[in-house]
Amino acid sequence: MNPSFLLAVTLLLPLLGAVFMALTGGRPNVREAVTLVTAGLLAAAVYALLQDVLAGGQPTATLVEVAPGLPLVLQVEPLGMLFACVASGLWIINSLYSIGYMRGNGEQNQTRFYICFAIAISSSMGIAFAGNMFTLFIFYETLTLSTYPLVAHKGTDEAKRGARVYLGLLMGTSIGFQMVAIIWTWIAAGTLDFTVGGILRDKIDPTLLPILLALYMFGIGKAALMPFHRWLPSAMVAPTPVSALLHAVAVVKAGVFTVLKVIVYIFGIDLLADTGASQWLIGVAAFTMLAASLVAMTKDNLKARLAYSTISQLSYIVLGAALATSFGILGGALHIATHALGKITLFMCAGAIYVATHKTEISQMDGLGRKMPFTYAAFLVGSLSIIGLPPLAGVWSKWYLAMGAVETGMWIVVAVYMISSLLNVAYLIPVVARGFFRPSPDLVPQSVGAAAAPAKDGVQEAPLLCVLPPCLTAAGCVVLFFYADEVIALLRPIVQ
Amino acid sequence: MTGATLSGIVPHLPALQVVVPLLAAPVCFLLRRGVICWGFATLVSWAAFATSLVLLQVVLADGTIRYEMGGWAAPWGIEYVIDATNAIVLVIVSGIGSAVMPYARRSVMAEIPANQHGLYYTAYLLCLAGLLGVTITGDAFNVFVFLEITSLSSYILVSAGAGMDRRALTAAYNYLVLGTVGATFFVIGVGLLYMVTGTLNIIDLSERVPALQHNRTVHVAFAFIVVGMGLKLALFPLHTWLPNAYTYAPSTGTAFLAATSTKVSVYVLLRFLFVVFAPSYGFMALTLDYVLLPLALIGMVAATVAAIYQYNIKRLLAYSSVAQIGYMVLGIAYGSVEGLTAAILHLFNHALMKGALFLALGCIMLRVGDVTMRGVQGLGRQMPWTMAAFVTGGLSLIGVPLTVGFISKWYLITAALDDGRWPIAAVILASSLLAIIYVWKIVEAAYLKEPPEGRVVREAPLSMLVPTWVLVLANIGFGINAEFTVGVARTAAMGLLGGAP
Amino acid sequence: MLELFLAKYNYWIVILLMMTGLYIVVARGNLVKKIIGLNVFQTSVFILYISMGKVAGGTAPILTGRDEIFSNPIPHVLILTAIVVGIATTALGLAFVVRIREAYDSIEDDEIDDAEKQDMARDLEGRLP
């Protein structure tokens, strides 16, 4: 099939799927079949594109010229290819999981949920394959809007509040900062095309570069740099499949992906290395990394803890990019994939626990590990991958990121990476440890009240469709460990 | 009709553009019966729209058209002059009219007493003729005459809401008082110009006035015209007539007036500022920087904040209109090609947004009879198409990508940054972020709240949904592909600043 | 100073009428009086136009076949139009006043304001928190 056509297909497929879902709304089985078929087809299309890219192709498609000099262009390059693979691949697994979770919980408005999900995926594809910053910005905004109904899904006051923060921060930063940065770039450079080596050299006063970079970095609210990180914990009111795919993979990764794109293709790492314009970003990212980890330790709500962990992990990538070295960029890009696999596993496990027991607080989860061994095993594997232990994928991205820090001779950054990994251990492992080693409260009642509450309901594993997906992604963490080389080979061209 | 007669008509289209609706108004009055008047007014609107499209095409292909009314040459007779700037305004006015009219039948039946239907359509046709006349004419005094035809008929359109709420009457009365003061200011300015130049023809004026840059009389004329037009176009703080007028007018009246009448006043301001006065330095140029610019900025923020606190959604949108007018005046106050391009672009885009939004509100008025926050509660499920239209219009108002609002914002900010005016860009952004709040209030009420107990409503009838969606789709269409509108706006801006075409 | 006043006396009259008219529009609470103020205001403009068309020593612009100085007729024509517009505005304004009196039982600004405040309060009655 013609690659340009294929490229347009990746955007249109999920939209088409959304239309079909709307048409079949009344019948859950048909609707969910449509979701799965669409996800499968999308993955196939992305896979076909991947073959083309590996063969050295660079498919391009111009959709429409929005205004003179501002076309909507899609163009595949390695970084985007990686993001598209991650998002489309995990959509299949997440769709399975959504079915299990949404049915298991008897949620309302499921058709709206699946439709918005599909639109969000389409926007993610648009972000992944955007050929210029203008296109990327447009899909960035549609992604925000299409995920808003998902965050507000429950319609409770808490959900509304969370969704308001979500929309307010993401729209506020993107319109308030990012759009200005883009227009500034457009005026200065006369183009917004993603170009290897950047477009800003000699176009803008070097003393202004850090300001422009700041407008971009804080404007990309989805990368959750402090102090614009609040939306991510707020978004946790959403149903877990949303948190899993969107707020561990598609949305947040769209943020750091945009960061990488901006640094690699708008500024160019050489320009940043020469001018030192990204030095301040190293500090902010390092602070976010450590501070978010510390906050994560204080959270008892499992999803909130994972959310802060995500904030911290996103800053790994931003920090890698801010180093402006090839190792830093490669490590950051690889971390998009490895962290996605690890974190989606953890979220899906959290959801499985919720479906099975309706528990959300870590302190209530004592002893659950023995009743839900598969869920907890997957959780352990995901945690270890995020911490960065072999033979799990997470080790590679951390390795490259640390290498990037060493390359610049900034030992303090190396130290920050190490400390942060230790903090990962401190906030992830206790969850597993409590599950396996603490006695269940209903077996050994510590007080009269505690004994009365959990009736002998015989907690067991969540439905198959809730448990299988996290096990698959956990296995994925192992597999990616052995195939990381291929990913690096794919990414290599972006830093040449 | 044969080809020969068609080509015989084309040269006279500038006259027909105004004369057809103008003559149609008394005919409509004589037709009396509501439905017949409606059909007639619809046909006339469509004819005017077709005429304006042809004119735009001719102008873009062959440049400015000059048409001598009645064969009297320019300094004595009245001349119609059409260039890119007013050709696009003609398209906006007649286009919105053609979208509102098919919609009007059901809405008017529901909102206006039956014995007034014929009169209502008559007033509409007069208003249409007036707006088109103001836009097309090349004679300064003729502008005043058409302006008053427009105004008088729009007071009537507003007062027609009296059947539903008596406050429509006071709104119309206040509009009349302020509108008359504004128009009189304008005519004083024109008189003073005539005194020093001896001509009323805008092209002649544009040749003689710049030589008199330091003439005190010209300065006074300038001030009168700017203030007069400021009243007419509801520039903050001269906007006080607008919120009530838009709130209590019938839905169709609001939709038509909000999308067209202030736009035409903006056009007149543009024409006088840049073609007649063409300020390059001194008193008049400073007015742009020190009067229009600050007022536009304050208006953008203050009116947006006021909109946030409204309970009645029509009034909310009215305040939003005041803010949006601020955007247009801002573009004018830049005084650069980029700024004018943005202003003209927003003129067009805002007509589409507000047209769509007020039409959607009209659907809600018809079915629910209540356009407050309470009225829209839970409507997302009960009137899905109407609310989807409303939300799309709202997104356009915020300036979300792939809508026309985004294109406007993009060009406004580009124009600001191009001149290095960072603080202004910041105010534009702040105001559009505030817009998110008032749009989202409505979205939350419609989608996340349950409808009030026992309220059962159906989706609006197709005859109303289709025109609404035509405008909504235009919002998206011109948002995805803005090449045409940007091109026209740029040509118009260069024409106004005396560049090419 | 006096010379300036006398030489341009027509303008002083215009200004006086204009300000009087505007003052009445702004300061009077009676709706009919506001309309009258508007009329005075417009009249000042009529005078402005007509007096500027006057040529010293000129006659009425009637073609007699002889060479004569005559006043500029264009302002007269313009003002004929403006008078028509003014009458229409007055008529419409008074019509509104009649309707307002029917609806509110008053033509005084402050009483109508009070009534509208009650209307507004009624709008908000059913407002949910």
Residue C30, beta-bridge partner list:
C108
Q: Express each pLDDT in A42-90 by its tens digit.
A: 888 888 888 888 887 788 888 888 878 888 888 888 888 888 888 888 8
Judging contacts by C-beta atoms under 8 Å, the chain A residues touching residue B481 are: 64-66
Q: Above 50 in pLDDT, residue B336?
A: yes
> Considering only A119-128, B280-289, B340-349, which range has the smallest mean pLDDT?
B280-289
Same domain, A28 and A139: yes
Query: Do the chains contact at A176 and B429, CB–CB below 8 Å?
Result: yes
Q: Tell me, yes or no, whether A264 lies in a domain.
A: no
Q: Which amino acid is at B227?
A: V
Contact between A92 and A47 (Cβ < 8 Å): no
Alpha carbon distance A74, A78 (integer Å): 13
Alpha carbon distance C22, A394 (integer Å): 78
Q: What is the pLDDT of residue B350?
A: 92
Nearest to C127 among B173, B194, B374 (CB): B374
Nearest to B139 by CA among B187, B183, B88, B210: B187
Q: What is the pLDDT of residue C21?
A: 93
Q: Above 90 in pLDDT, residue B154?
A: yes
Q: What is the pLDDT of residue B394?
A: 92
Q: Above 60 in pLDDT, residue A162?
A: yes
Q: What is the pLDDT of residue C127?
A: 56
The answer for C 22-81 residues in CB contact with B (under 8 A) is: 22, 25, 31, 34-35, 38, 41-42, 45, 48-49, 52, 74-75, 78, 81
Residue of B nearest to A71 (CA): B481
Contact between A176 and A219 (Cβ < 8 Å): yes
Q: What is the pLDDT of residue B392?
A: 92
Nearest to A145 among B400, B409, B410 (CB): B400
Chains that touch A (3 or more CB pairs under 8 A): B
Q: What is the pLDDT of residue A442?
A: 60
Q: Express each pLDDT in B48-95 by its tens digit.
A: 999 999 999 988 888 888 888 877 777 778 889 998 888 999 999 999
Nearest to A262 by CA among A292, A226, A218: A218
Interface contact B195, partner C, CB < 8 A: yes
Q: Tell me, yes or no, whether A147 lies in a domain.
A: yes
A300-308 average pLDDT score: 86
Q: Express each pLDDT in A279-303 by its tens digit.
A: 888 888 888 988 988 888 888 888 8
A23-43 average pLDDT score: 81
Nearest to A112 by CA among A243, A21, A241: A21
Q: Which amino acid is at A230?
A: R
Chains that touch B (3 or more CB pairs under 8 A): A, C
Alpha carbon distance A108, A392 (integer Å): 37
CA angle A299, A303, A308 (to 5 degrees): 60
Residue of B nearest to C126 (CA): B374
Q: The tokens of A251 are what?
A: 């949305």
Reported as half-sphere exposure (CB side, CA atoms, 13 A), residue A174 has a value of 34
Q: Tell me, yes or no, whether A270 lies in a domain.
A: no
> Quick one: A437 exposed, middle or buried, by C-beta within 10 A (0-12, 13-18, 19+)?
exposed
Contact between A81 and A49 (Cβ < 8 Å): yes
pLDDT tier, B1 (very low <50, low <70, confident <90, very high otherwise): very low
- Neighbouring residues of B346: CB distance < 8 A, sequence distance ≥ 6: B324, B327, B328, B331, B408, B411, B412
B13-22 average pLDDT score: 90
Same domain, A283 and A237: no
Q: Above 80 in pLDDT, residue A26?
A: no
Residue of B nearest to C73 (CA): B76
- Prediction ipTM score: 0.91
Query: Do the chains contact at A187 and B400, CB–CB below 8 Å?
Result: no
Interface contact B144, partner C, CB < 8 A: yes
Nearest to B242 by CA among B181, B180, B318: B318
Residue of C nearest to B141 (CA): C78
User: Going by beta carbons, is chain C in contact with chain A, meaning 3 or more pairs sit under 8 Å apart?
Assistant: no
HEC sequence for B274-322: HHHHCCCCHHHHHHHHHHHHHHHHHHHHHHHHHHHCCCEHHHHHHHHHH
Alpha carbon distance A393, A389 (integer Å): 8
Q: Name the domain count of chain A.
A: 2
Q: What is the pLDDT of residue A447?
A: 45
pLDDT mean across residues, chain B: 88
Q: Above 90 in pLDDT, residue B179?
A: yes
Query: Do the chains contact at A65 and B481, CB–CB below 8 Å?
Result: yes
Interface contact A180, partner B, CB < 8 A: yes
What are the backbone dihedrals phi and psi of residue C35, each rounded to the nearest 5 degrees, phi first?
-65, -40
Q: What is the pLDDT of residue B3?
A: 60
Query: Do the chains contact at B187 and C82, CB–CB below 8 Å?
Result: yes
Interface contact B174, partner C, CB < 8 A: no
The whole domain housing A63 covers: 1-256
Same domain, A339 and A394: yes
First-to-last C-alpha distance (Å) of chain B: 34
**Positive or negative: CA dihedral A202, A208, A213, A219:** negative
> Quick one: B53 exposed, middle or buried, by C-beta within 10 A (0-12, 13-18, 19+)?
middle
Interface contact B289, partner C, CB < 8 A: no
Q: Tell me, yes or no, whether A150 lies in a domain.
A: yes
Alpha carbon distance B234, A113 (integer Å): 43
Q: Above 70 in pLDDT, residue A458?
A: no
Same domain, A295 and A225: no
Query: Do the chains contact at B410 and A67, CB–CB below 8 Å?
Result: yes
Alpha carbon distance A139, A278 (integer Å): 26
Q: Above 70 in pLDDT, residue B421?
A: yes
Q: What is the pLDDT of residue B349?
A: 92
Q: The tokens of C103 are what?
A: 């609806």
Nearest to B282 by CA among B331, B212, B195: B212
What are the backbone dihedrals phi and psi of residue B371, each rounded to the nearest 5 degrees, phi first?
-110, 35
pLDDT mean across residues, chain A: 83
Give the CA distances from residue B52 to residues A327, B18, B36, in Å, rounded to whole numbers and listed in that order. 61, 10, 24
Q: Tell me, yes or no, whether A263 lies in a domain.
A: no
Q: What is the pLDDT of residue A25?
A: 64
Residue A327, beta-bridge partner list:
none
Same domain, A239 and A328: no
Q: Above 50 in pLDDT, residue A456?
A: no
Q: Express each pLDDT in B445-486 by its tens digit.
A: 888 888 887 788 888 888 889 999 999 999 999 988 888 889
Give the CA distances from residue A269 to residues A200, A276, A321, A323, C16, in Å, rounded to whole numbers and listed in that order. 11, 10, 8, 9, 72
Q: Tell me, yes or no, whether A262 lies in a domain.
A: no
- Neighbouring residues of A136: CB distance < 8 A, sequence distance ≥ 6: A126, A127, A130, A258, A261
pLDDT tier, B393 (very low <50, low <70, confident <90, very high otherwise): very high
Same domain, A290 and A438: yes
Asked if the bond preceding A239 is cis, omega within 30° of 0, the reply is: no
Interface contact A109, partner B, CB < 8 A: no
Interface contact C88, partner B, CB < 8 A: yes
Give the CA distances from residue B9 to residues A210, A352, A377, B86, B162, in Å, rounded to whole numbers and listed in that order. 62, 74, 82, 20, 42
B351-355 average pLDDT score: 93
pLDDT tier, A457 (very low <50, low <70, confident <90, very high otherwise): low
Same domain, A242 and A102: yes
What are the backbone dihedrals phi and psi of residue A64, each rounded to the nearest 5 degrees, phi first?
-165, 155
Nearest to B141 among C42, C78, C126 (CB): C78
Nearest to B252 by CA among B367, B106, B453: B106
Q: How many helices (H) and strands (E) does chain C have?
A: 5, 0
Contact between B125 and B150 (Cβ < 8 Å): no
Q: Which amino acid is at A60?
A: T
Same domain, A133 and A224: yes
Interface of B with A (CB under 8 A): 395, 398-402, 407, 409-411, 413-414, 417-418, 425, 429-430, 432-433, 436, 440, 444, 447-448, 479-483, 486-487
> Quick one: A13 exposed, middle or buried, by C-beta within 10 A (0-12, 13-18, 19+)?
buried
The continuous run of DSSP H or E covering B441 comes out as helix B422-448
Alpha carbon distance B185, B182 (integer Å): 5
Per-residue pLDDT of chain C (129 residues; tens, 9 = 90+): 677 777 778 888 899 999 999 999 989 889 999 999 999 999 999 998 888 877 777 777 777 777 778 888 888 888 998 999 999 999 999 999 999 999 888 888 889 888 888 888 887 776 544
CATH number of the domain at C2-53+68-125, please?
1.10.287.3510
Give the CA distances from residue A421 to residues A335, A379, A425, B93, B475, in Å, rounded to whole numbers and listed in that order. 14, 17, 7, 64, 49
Same domain, A470 and A327: yes
Distance, CA of A91 to chain centre = 12
